[in-house]
Amino acid sequence: MVGTGLLKGLGVTFKEMWKPKVTTKYPDEPYELPNRFRGIQKLYVDKCIVCYQCAHICPTQCITIQEKPKADPKQKKKELEVFDINFEICILCDLCTEVCPTEAIVMTSNVELAEYRRDALHKDMRWLEANNTNIRELNLPWKATSSSS
């Protein structure tokens, strides 16, 4: 019959009105990102052996590392003095976390980095250590599967 399509269309829009919305209220309500999302790195200062692999692989050379002078000359383990990531140029490419032999640096799914001053984007080792929410649970899945099998 002529005109039933119109009523059908009205029904579709009417039902759509009560359904949950596709868009989110992001800044008002937090938006859950997947756990493997490449966000701001978390650093475990104690795990770091100061091997410089992350600084070498970094495509934008945003990581600055300095070794702490050893108090006791017989001490073998190296310790961190400075570990800065410059988030002005960091592209969150995940390479530093991939090469790290001790998983001292891992990704989190936090992304909010907006600052009023550019200086504030140079995050130091204390700040990176304190960034301990939404940490990636399994850093290198292929290693985990190969070791278990």
What SS3 state is found at 13? helix
The one segment of 17-25, 76-84, 86-94, 141-149 that binds other proteins by CB under 8 A: 17-25
Contact 109, 74 (CB under 8 A): no
* Residues annotated in a binding site for [4Fe-4S] cluster: 48, 51, 54, 58, 90, 93, 96, 100
Q: Is 1 in the site for other proteins (CB under 8 A)?
A: no
- Would you give the DSSP letter of residue 102? T
Nearest approach in angstroms of CB 118 to other proteins is 27
Q: Is 4 in the site for other proteins (CB under 8 A)?
A: no
- Alpha-carbon distance 96 to 7, whole Å? 58
Contact 109, 136 (CB under 8 A): yes
- Return residues touching other proteins (CB under 8 A): 6, 9-10, 12-14, 16-19, 21-23, 25, 28
